[in-house]
Homo-oligomer: A and B are copies of this chain.
Amino acid sequence: MIHGSLCEICPRRNSGFCGALLEDVAEDARATAEKLQYQALRSGELIASRNQSSGDVVVICGGWGFRFLQTSDGRRQILKFLLPGDVLSANLVFEDRFRFPVKALTDAQVAKFPREKIQAKLFADKSFLTVVANIYIAENQHAEEMLAVLGQRSAKQRIAYLLLYLMKRISAQSVIREHRYRLPVRQQHIADAVGLTVVHVNRILGIFRDQGIIELSDGFLQVLNAVELERVGSIN
């Protein structure tokens, strides 16, 4: 049973789902003293597997995760990095199964909202419908931009693009000082997200470091030349 404590697990986000939900669904849960499920996960733990059935819409509250696709030949493509406030998979609002598996990248917490509640709110509240629609649109936008990145751009450009994208997402969550970003990803994650090998990612990061563009170590990204990073990584 969760009362005021919900906000500690899943603090109000300006962005999207979690914020909109807390204002209503969580209030509702509190009012009726219903149980609002949440769950803690260890780094590396599988949160949901492919085709797993779920009666809940699952949202990341703390830590990072990622959604990915495993190919038959053992390689994996990271489809999206999940930050606090992100739904694990937007299709959960309408479907009862995960289309792709999800893993915890760091230690993480998730909250689970019963799908019926979400859907009820969806039909009752136009502004909530808009919020959900925007999640779908943003997800699509990013997937399609990423398509262009993987299809058309060089290793340097791919990595720069990914870092810029993550920087934007991180900035939306916390204030950044001195161009220093908490970025809890291994080089392997970057490789799996942009379709390169770890070895090559390592070399490119080395080049960026030598050129004084960025430094990535100890889970921190230090941007030294934001202009150049932007020049390399932007697509339009």
Q: Mark A115-137, 1 if CB is under 8 A from B, else 0.
A: 00000001100100110011011
A102 in the interface, Cβ–Cβ < 8 Å? no
Does A94 sit at the interface, judged by CB under 8 A? yes
- A236 in the interface (beta carbon within 8 A): yes
- Whether A152 contacts B72 in the complex (CB less than 8 A), given A100-B144, A141-B99, comes out as no
State whether the Cβ of A58 lies closer than 8 Å to any Cβ in chain B.
no
B234 with A152: CB separation less than 8 A:
no
The reply on A91 being an interface residue by CB < 8 A is yes
Q: How many identical chains are in the complex?
A: 2
Residues of B within 8 A of A224 (CB): none
A90 at the interface (CB under 8 A from B): yes
Give the A interface residue count (CB, 8 A): 46
Interface-centre pick from A69, A90, A123, A194 (highest chain B CB count, 10 A): A69
In the complex the two chains form, what is the Cα distance from A100 to B72 in whole Å? Answer: 32
**In the complex, which residue of chain B has the Cβ closest to the Cβ of A67?**
B144
- Complex CA gap A146/B235 in Å reads 19
Find the B residue at minimum CB distance from A75.
Answer: B152
Whether B90 lies near A148 (C-beta < 8 A) is: no
Partner of A147, one of B90, B129, B150: B150
A187 within 8 A of B: no
A71 contacts B by Cβ under 8 Å: yes
A151 lies within 8 A of chain B by Cβ: yes
